[in-house]
Amino acid sequence: MSKYQVNDKGYYGPFGGAYIPEMLYPNVEELQAQYLKIMEDSSFKEEFEQLLKDYVGRPSPLYPAKRLSERYGANIFLKREDLNHTGAHKINNTIGQILLAERLGKKRIIAETGAGQHGVATATVCALKGLECVVYMGEIDIQRQAPNVARMKMMGATVVAAQSGSKTLKDATNEALRDWINNPVDTHYIIGSVVGPHPYPDMVARFQSIISAETKKQLLEKTGRETPDIVMACVGGGSNAAGMFYHFLDDEDVKIIAVEAAGHGVNSGESAATTALGQEGVLHGSRSILMQTEDGQVIEPYSISAGLDYPGIGPQHAWLFKSGRGEYVSATDDEAMQAGLLLTQLEGIIPAIESSHALAHLEKMSFKGDETVVICLSGRGDKDLDNYMKYFNL
Amino acid sequence: MQLNKHTNGLLSIYFTAGYPTLDSTVTIAKALEDAGVDFLEIGFPYSDPVADGPTIQHASEEALKNGMTLKVLFEQLKDLRKHVTIPVFLMGYVNPVLQFGVENFCKACKEVGVNGTIIPDLPMYEYEELYKGTFEENGISNIFLVTPQTSEERIRKIDALSTSFIYLLSSNAITGKNLEVKDQSEAYFKRIKDMDLQNPFIIGFGIHDKNTFSKATTYANGAIVGTAFVKLLAEENYLEKIPEFIGSFK
């Protein structure tokens, strides 16, 4: 058993667990007991793989970014999750979880969403399977992300405004948990990131691990080696990073770099750089690292990227950070926006602002010239055009 | 007052510390004792109360705005036992307790005379593995919740681990959903009563009037009123209205 994977008690080192009220215990216990059995079942695997191929469009390309490589003096590959159906890596997880929910006999799906990418990915698979779908979204995010709200509605989902607290992702997650408490029997909660009570962080990481599984094969074909020198990804809750790192965790020769959102600067008071600013604590069902006051109240994060605007990180990331296995760094709004523009101009790819954070770290690295670097391009920038337009006065 | 399995008809009230004003905590506690309440749950607020409905969410938010923290609360409760003699339980989410330090928290509870704690998102496994010893050393009872979905095996385990009472949720729901007294919930209450647990059990969530209180206490040793009382605290002259409010349940 890898020391970086979850143990039989649901922990990654000191992080993880299932810190949930008793009302959620039967649901979570059912998942804990069933998720591996279901995922390892051959009919599940077959359907999952088929849908990833025919519906999502996998495998996603591993693109050797020539001009970006020249610019930085390294062999940079982009894992093109942005080319997936619905525009991001999120669909890998929602496909997996909808198949799981079906096998658990659930009739109703709930989800939380920030910018709307996970909400859209959930509404998509619910349409695909004909299941009722309710997506909780902060009232403020509903206003900021009108096109994604429209997409969800077109697919038949009900979008419910979370009106508590700061009316953003954290509060949407609270509302989804409340819904699950009130509907314990027929409802499955599709969490969008590697957060939440055990087994969610492990389950979501397993569904996203297709990213690194494909990367290994593709790298072997392209370079003759299965492993890169460095893998990089952005981290909000951390699901694309968890998938990008998954099959490289035990190979200590592979350097792992996770890039958090520093907003206006780590110490500006407007940031989402959890590992830099947070302490150990419990949020949304697991023990991890989160941004909080001395009294244990959760602090509202800030980032220009709605997908990274979360005050915690998944428990596996907390463990990779604390154990020193991963290097956790951050990029500001400005650094990310410039990196997004640079990729657009060098490679003709408009990245999601989330993914731009990972790209931004290249500026701060120095290379000998022959290193192989894989960056997870977790999503496409269509949803961010408004932001890019405002930022660059386009 | 004796909290044991032979007492009946106990009325308990939940309210949020620091709401409606920062220093209202002990005044409300004393008024509740004077009005004849049998024991209290004082909530310490949290920014992300996932098991609570809008009323208690709002009270928590206001309490935090008023400046309530665990540190402030224990300061306020220093003279608690000069004014209040009935059992007092602190209720809240686990993260503020972790930041305060579990050992410091238990010691502070002991010092001010708090009898026990209800921490809904501290699961039984983690409590047993990590914190039970600290709670016991300080004589603090931790209360566990039971829902209609909790298995008999788990209820037995909870009963063995409990030293004060078991908090029976009237339904699988967040706080503030009025209990509809249906045959279904009565069957559930009866099922628990017939288990003949060693601890008393008290029903909470949805208890909001004489009818629901009396249904609950037909089976349980007592019942807890939370949201309905927190709503009263939003009214003008709430202190004067407490005796009438409490009187309406019995």
Interface contact A295-B146, CB threshold 8 A:
no
Residue A285's nearest CA partner among B50, B145, B169, B146 is B50
Q: Is B177 in CB contact (< 8 Å) with chain A?
A: yes
The strand pairing partners of B43, in sequence order, are: B16, B91
Mutation pick from B47, B66, B73 vs chain A, by most beta carbons of A within 10 Å, is: B47
The model carries a pTM of: 0.96
**For B183, what's the count of Cα atoms within 13 Å in the CB-facing half-sphere?**
0
Rounded CA-CA distance A357/A340 in Å is 8
- A279 Cα to chain B: minimum distance (Å): 9
For residue A382, pLDDT beyond 70: yes
Strand order in the sheet with A255-263: A62-64, A75-80, A372-377, A230-234, A255-263, A326-332
Task: List chain A residues with CB under 8 Å of B53.
Answer: 178
Residue A143's pLDDT is: 85
Return the percent helix, strand and coil in chain A, to nearest 5: 50, 20, 30
Among B121, B146, B169, the residue with its CB nearest the CB of A19 is B121
Residue A103's pLDDT is: 97
For residue B1, pLDDT beyond 80: no
Rounded CA-CA distance B206/A239 in Å is 38
Q: Is B126 in CB contact (< 8 Å) with chain A?
A: yes
Chain segment A186-240, per-residue pLDDT in tens: 999 999 999 999 999 999 999 999 999 999 999 999 999 999 999 999 999 999 9
Chain segment A50-60, per-residue pLDDT in tens: 999 999 999 99
**A22 and B174 Cβ atoms separated by less than 8 Å:** no
Q: Where are the domains of chain B?
A: 10-243
Interface contact A292-B51, CB threshold 8 A:
no
Chain segment A244-258, per-residue pLDDT in tens: 999 999 999 999 999
Say whether the peptide bond before residue A199 is cis (omega within 30 degrees of 0): yes
For residue B183, pLDDT beyond 70: no
Q: Is A265 in CB contact (< 8 Å) with chain B?
A: no
Q: Is B70 in CB contact (< 8 Å) with chain A?
A: yes
Among B53, B70, B150, the residue with its CB nearest the CB of A22 is B150
Is B41 annotated as catalytic?
yes
Chain segment B66-112, per-residue pLDDT in tens: 999 999 999 999 999 999 999 999 999 999 999 999 999 999 999 99
What's the DSSP call for residue B22? Answer: G
Q: Give the CATH H-level superfamily of domain B10-243.
A: Aldolase class I (3.20.20.70)
What is the pLDDT confidence band of residue A266, given thresholds at 50, 70 and 90?
very high
Residue B181's pLDDT is: 63
Q: Which ipTM was obtained for this model?
A: 0.94
Interface contact B172-A9, CB threshold 8 A:
no
Q: Are strands A286-290 and A279-283 parallel, antiparallel or unpaired?
A: antiparallel
Is B52 annotated as catalytic?
yes
